[in-house]
Structure 1
Amino acid sequence: MVEAAVADVVGPAVTTDPLVPRPASGRLEERSSTCTAGHQPTVLFTDGDHALTKKTLAAVALLAASGLTLTACGDDTSGDSDGQAQSSDTATSFNDADVTFAQQMIPHHQQAVEMAQMADGRATSAEVKELAENIEAAQGPEIETMTNWLEEWGQEVPSGDMEHGDMGHGGGDMAGMMDDEQMSDLEDAMGGSWDQMFLEMMIEHHEGAIEMAETEVDEGESPEAVALAEKIITDQQAEIALMQDLLDA
């Protein structure tokens, strides 16, 4: 196979047998291969009157031994194409349930964060203060994540400035949301009264979020959205148990 590769590159071997006609004297034959992907061409010369030099033969042998062929000049882009297709599939893998989940959970989380931020200057219990901080720390990044999904999916992102009554309690699809009056009462409370009101409201709020997340787990298509819904269920069930313990203490 090596001999065939060399013959293919440099052409017929030059013979010194006097009985075999040789090419006309002084003619220099040039054979070259041109790559189209930015590689330098390989150029070999054979002299009609003289055998190939040792230097040329060494180069040819190295070429054949290395297994280099003209096809090496091409670039293999199939891997990049596959990666781009997979990324595109991931970005478009969603359904109406995923969109509804994100569009509703964003304002739901925003209200929970608003309630948690009220703890500053109002809460008395150290446990309640820590819980409020944890809720804000967890749900803030989740809001950003869901916002990015909606933008990637080409769907409307909730404005974040809706009135509590527009998205709140009794709104049907937004379980657990507080209305304007409830939010105003929480804002006006202080000390132990605030702690109790916050815990009671947040338990109801969490129960609504879990209900929404369970719907996403059952009906959603996006793996990322379903995974977030499962995380919300786990996290908020644990927080409900903690809040119930604080109320019972």
Structure 2
Amino acid sequence: MTAHNPALNRRLRRRLAIVSTVAAGGLLLVACGGDDMEGMDHGSGSSASAAASSTPTAGDNPAPGAFNDADVMFAQMMIPHHEQALEMSGLADGRASDTEVKALVEDIEKAQDPEIRTMKSWLKAWGKPESAEESMPGMHHGSGGMDHGSGMSGMMSETDMKKLRAAKGTEFDRMFAEMMIGHHEGAITMAEDEQKNGRNSTAKKLAADVVKTQSAEVEKLQKILDRI
């Protein structure tokens, strides 16, 4: 039979207390370590999410997908072509007298102004200059009315524009219709070329819209000419 020893019992209790404290401390460290690891995981996850959110996606590009030189040239050429159409339409205010001409002017402005902004956004996304002259030095817009050599068919010369500015009433209506028919036919030719040679689906869709819309407007303009 083991004799009762108070001193021994006290030493045993102290050892048990120390062991218990160490064990508890180990568990605490493990728990804290787990929390720290989770924090590290969350941090790396947040960094990954931030990196993913900063990566460009197809939705950031107004004309996603592959594109070629024909797409770029279509946008670069059609922008100034549309801008001249808007300039011609702007002259109708105070000069046009025919109600159908005035209505058609509004249609042209509503369609072509947004298209200009759209094509500029394409070129920006593609990293290309807005002006074709920056890509093809020495090319001049509107230098010859029907400048097939530069691809800018249907553009009015400065002489044409001066005549249009000087006209008023029925004379303006007739001159506007004649010039806009030629201008639209030039745009249709450029759009058909994009449909044939372009690669970007968004650009080709806008080209199809140009062909459809401006072909219908050519018919209206011709009817106006036949009437006045």
Instruction: Give me the TM-score of the superposition, normalised by structure 2.
Output: 0.73
Cα separation, partners in 2 of 1:158 and 1:78, compared to 1, 3 Å: closer
Alignment of 1:116-155 (within 5 A): 116-155=89-128
Percentage of pairs with the same residue: 44
Alpha-carbon distance in structure 2 between the residues aligned to 1:153 and 1:166: 28
Does 2:226 align with 1:244? no
Counterpart code for 1:84:
P
What do the CA deviations read for 1:90-127 (whole angstroms, capped 9, x no partner)?
65621100110011101111111111111111111111
1:207 is matched with 185
| Matched AA of 2:209 | K
The correspondence for 1:228, drawn from 185, 189, 206, is: 206
Give per-residue Cα distances to partners, 1:9-51, cap 9 Å, x unaligned.
xxxxxxxxxxxxxxx6553241332212348xxxxxxxxxxxx
> Which of 163-172 and 103-112 deviates more?
163-172
Q: Is residue 164–residue 172 contact of structure 2 (8 Å, CA) maintained in 1?
A: yes
* Higher strand fraction (1 or 2): 1
Of structures 1 and 2, the one scoring higher in RCO (CA 8 A, sep 6+) is 2
CA distances 1:162-212 after superposition (whole Å, capped 9, x unpaired): 975437423421111111221111111111111011111111111110110
Task: Verify: 1:181 aligned to 2:159, yes or no.
Answer: yes
The residue number in structure 1 matching 2:41 is 37
Q: Match of 2:67, SS?
A: coil
2:169 is aligned with 1:191? yes
**1:198 to 1:192, Cα distance in 2 relative to 1, 3 A:** same
Aligned to 2:143: 166
Equivalent residue in structure 2 for 1:105, among 66, 72, 78: 78
1:129: how far off? 0.9
Q: Which string of whole-angstrom CA distances, capped at 9 and with x for unpartnered residues, describes residues 41-72 of structure 1? A: xxxxxxxxxxxxxxxxxxxxxxxxxxxxxxxx
User: Could you tell me whether the CA contact under 8 Å between 1:91 and 1:153 is conserved in 2?
Assistant: no
Normalising by structure 1, report the TM-score. Answer: 0.67
**Structure with the largest fraction of helix:** 2
Structure 2: any 5+ residue segments left out of the alignment?
Answer: 1-18, 134-138
Distance 1:74 1:108, change over 3 A: closer
RMSD: 3.1
5+ unaligned residues in a row in structure 1: which ranges? 1-23, 40-72
- Matched letter for residue 161 of structure 2: M
1:130 aligned partner, one-letter code? A
